[in-house]
Amino acid sequence: MEKRAEKIRVVLVPLPLQGHITPIMQLGKALNLKGFSITVAQGECNQVSSSQHLSGFQFVTIPETVPVSQYERRPVEFVMKLNKTSEASFKDCIAQLLLQQGSDIACIIYDELMYFCGATAKEFNLPSIIFSTTTATHKFCCSVLSKLNSKKFLIDMQDPEVQDKEVENLHPLRYKDLPTSGMGPLEPYFELLREIIKKRTASAVIINTTSCLENSSLSWLQQELGIPVYPLGPLHILSSVKSSLLKEDKNCIEWLNKQKPKSVIYVSFGSLALMETKDVLEMVCGLFNSNQPFLLVIRPGSILGSEWIESLPEEVSKMVSKRGYIVKWAPQIEVLGHPALGGFWSHCGWNSTLESIVEGVPMICMPFIGEQKLNAKYIESVWRVGIKLEGEMERGGVERAVKRLIVDEESEGLRERAHVLREKLKASVRSGGSSYNALDELVKMLNFVHY
Ligand code: UDX
């Protein structure tokens, strides 16, 4: 079967954001290892370069005109515009690929938010598969939200009883946990959710999760969609691939080597979160006062009004030089797997969540936007491998959270549960595990649709 697959090409279409590019490239690598050729069709912004040692990968450009920087402030508008502007050029791109000699496309696998691809696949009579970078529970919530009237929802949510009501079939989620924050006005957001559902023509869904994390939501998804669902996560342990858009600063590993085992708190809020100078100051003071060494990622441009860290007061550099280390971008998976790591203060992006669980590292959860809140709820209340940091950023709260996570008695239970969960996740990608089997099923399907 693997031999037959050698000539088969799969086209991948990522959303041009780090948290979406990484898992789809990992999927590409997993399929490449199963014998498929991979073509990545990407926009002009945030390109993964072909120089990143990806043999067996071809890269083509879909010219698009929406600056990626728009996502940070207006995610819904960005996604809608991107879908409108990319459709025609993607059609040209597929037509060109089909003209290339020996370019036999088995399937287009596209990020769920690049829903314009469905129509193109249909026009060329090619099978298509949706790739989801978030959880099945998130899909469930999106389905709930898409059926709501935004005006009525806003009024209802002013009532604390409604906020605390459990969402049907989604225990322990309450209405206030639904992923609406940071998405801008509700009506366009709900409209986008409806659009994604309406434009769904794919014959299957691949999702970067695994059944031991969210079995009941996966069953719901399977039933709701009526098409095969392949939960093959965590993809980063199935196949690793270099797809960082920013340069990783490996010097922090040397700094980690000098720290005591399980002592360091690693702080990173992913690829999109923005913060104010005053909050970063409170954060660093709290980290310093906890007496634990800290490794802090501050992306260029992530502090509002500052290119990097020049807006921070002098006292910050003093505290960092005594007990901390700052990088612009860390080799995160390596950091999380380092023996000095005691905990991860995270924004709870889905990739970071999976990476942390796989290394058995407990988390402080501080979600920023969208489904991060949902992930935080599961980390704290369902898998019980983290604690939430709520309210205003304030040094006392930060200090307490770090101590709870790394020093206090409570930390032992968190670490133990994180280890148990880690073993379950690792088992799911080993031979006979649920994600391993799902990948095999997917490969069979890709071969079947091709011949
Ligand atoms: C966002 C959403 O929050 C996420 O849930 C969704 O699935 C994708 O878009 P993002 O903010 O990018 O994601 O966070 P996350 O999903 O955690 O992805 C960040 C990636 O960047 C991770 O793979 C992480 O390892 C990597 N990273 C982050 C680094 O390699 N170095 C860093 O310093 C910080």
Residues 72 and 93 both lie in one domain: yes
Residue 209 CB–ligand 1 contact under 6 Å: no
Same domain, 282 and 305: yes
The count of domains in the chain is 2
> Are 335 and 435 part of one and the same domain?
no
In a domain, 171, yes or no: no
Instruction: Supply the pLDDT for residue 51.
Output: 61
Q: What's this model's pTM, rounded to 2 decimal places?
A: 0.96
Answer yes or no: is 189 within a domain: no
**Ligand 1: does its nearest atom lie under 6 Å from the Cβ of 434?**
no
Same domain, 438 and 310: no
CA 425–ligand 1 middle distance (angstroms): 19
Is the ipTM reported for this complex over the cut 0.85? yes
CA angle 34/37/41 to nearest 5° reads 125
Binned at pLDDT 50, 70 and 90, residue 1 comes out as very low
- Residue whose Cα lies nearest atom 15 of ligand 1: it is 349
Domain span including residue 361: 251-408
H or E stretch including 140?
Answer: helix 136-146
Residue 178 domain flag:
no
Decide if 300 contacts 275 (C-beta within 8 A).
no
* Same domain as 21, residue 74: yes
Q: Are residues 301 and 233 in the same domain?
A: no
Determine if ligand 1 sits within 6 Å of the CB of residue 351.
Answer: yes
> Are 340 and 432 contained in the same domain?
no
d(CA 64, CA 42): 9
Atom of ligand 1 nearest to the CA of 348: 17
Is residue 109, in this structure, part of any structural domain at all? yes
Task: Say which CATH number the domain at 375 has.
Answer: 3.40.50.2000
Reported as a single tens digit per residue, the pLDDT across 183-237 is 999 999 999 999 999 999 999 999 999 999 999 999 999 999 999 999 999 999 9
Q: How far is ligand 1, taken at its centre, from the CA of residue 19, in Å?
A: 4
Q: Is residue 38 part of a domain?
A: yes
Q: Considering the domain boundaries, does residue 164 fall inside one?
A: no
**Type of residue found at 54:** L
Assigned token pair, 420? 């148990």
State phi, psi for 10 to the nearest 5 degrees: -115, 130
pLDDT tens, position by position, 45-103: 888 876 666 777 999 999 877 888 888 778 999 999 999 999 999 999 999 999 887 66
Same domain as 273, residue 393: yes
Dist CA 21 CA 401 (whole Å): 32
- 3-class SS of residue 232: coil
Contact 372 CB / ligand 1 (< 6 Å): yes
Between CA 153 and CA 227 the distance in angstroms is 30
pLDDT greater at residue 306 or residue 73: 306
14 lines ligand 1 (CB under 6 A): no
- If asked whether residues 307 and 387 sit together in one domain, one would say yes
Report the nearest atom of ligand 1 relative to the CA of 268. Answer: 34
**Residues 81, 36 share a domain:** yes
Co-location of 403 and 439 in the same domain? no
Residue 226: count other Cβ atoms within 10 Å of its Cβ.
7
Span of 8-12, 43-47, 91-95, 372-376 with lowest mean pLDDT: 43-47
What angle is formed at CA 450 by the lines to CA 446 and CA 451, rounded to 5 degrees? 120
Q: Is 242 exposed, middle or buried (0-12, 13-18, 19+ CB in 10 A)?
A: middle
- Is 223 in the same domain as 329? no
With respect to residue 50, please indicate whether it lies within any of the assigned structural domains: yes
- Could you tell me if residue 446 is inside a domain? yes
**Residues 181, 184, 189, 192, CA torsion sign:** negative
Measure the CA–CA gap between 143 and 147, rounded to whole angstroms: 7
Pocket test for ligand 1, best of 352, 372, 377, 378 (most atoms within 8 A of CB): 352
In 10 A of CB 10, how many CB atoms? 23
